Amino acid sequence: MTYRELAVPGAWEITPVQHGDPRGVFLEYFQAGPFATAAGHRFSLAQANLSVSAAGVLRGVHYADVPPGQAKYVTCARGAVLDVVVDLRVGSPTFGTWDSVLLDDTDRRAIYLSEGLGHAFLSLEDDSTVLYMCSEGYAPGREHGVHPLDTDLGIVWPTVDRAGRPLTALLSEKDLAAPSLAEARTAGLLPQYDEVSAFVESLRP
């Protein structure tokens, strides 16, 4: 298993070693020890989610208030999604920066996003099945979003699916109504870099 830190500090791409034979494939998509070495702290699992999305479904950009925030460890068990992390931490040297990882059932990579970062993905195939391990449970009053098509974010979303067919983005009503990055910042909804850094530091042994 190899770890690569993304352009957004606090986010990693994780590539597992796959063991295949005529029966199929086996892999470990999470290892607590190597994860703690890479991230500098352990991952505490509080909730595990699963979503199934048609091609073109766009979910996010979602984030939670810090503390306690909600770190996520995400992989795609079936199909393919472009998974995106956005630095929403006001005061961060990389504020507004985004990076992406292709999660699919070929390379079977995962992505980790620490507290204070925004998460979104676009499904590139019908029935794409995404698994999320979360450090905190869902708490509606602490959950927020930024519009994934905000031009200030400038996320380059794919325009074709896995088979090369044109994609039309499909968003939930909640995501369609989400504020832009600038609006969320003005409203004081975004995490503060210093507060997030202090909280993440408190998780270190």
Of the residues 62, 119, 144, 147, only one is catalytic, namely 62
Nearest to 129 by CA among 197, 69, 79, 191: 79
Of the residues 19, 112, 132, 138, only one is catalytic, namely 132
Residue 132 annotated among the catalytic residues of the structure: yes
Cα–Cα separations (whole angstroms), residue 39 to 58, 88, 91 = 28, 19, 21
Query: Which burial class, exposed, middle or buried, applies to 40 when counting CB atoms under 10 A from its CB (0-12, 13-18, 19+)?
Result: middle
- In whole angstroms, give the CA distance from residue 5 to residue 191: 21
Q: Please list the active-site residues.
A: 62, 132
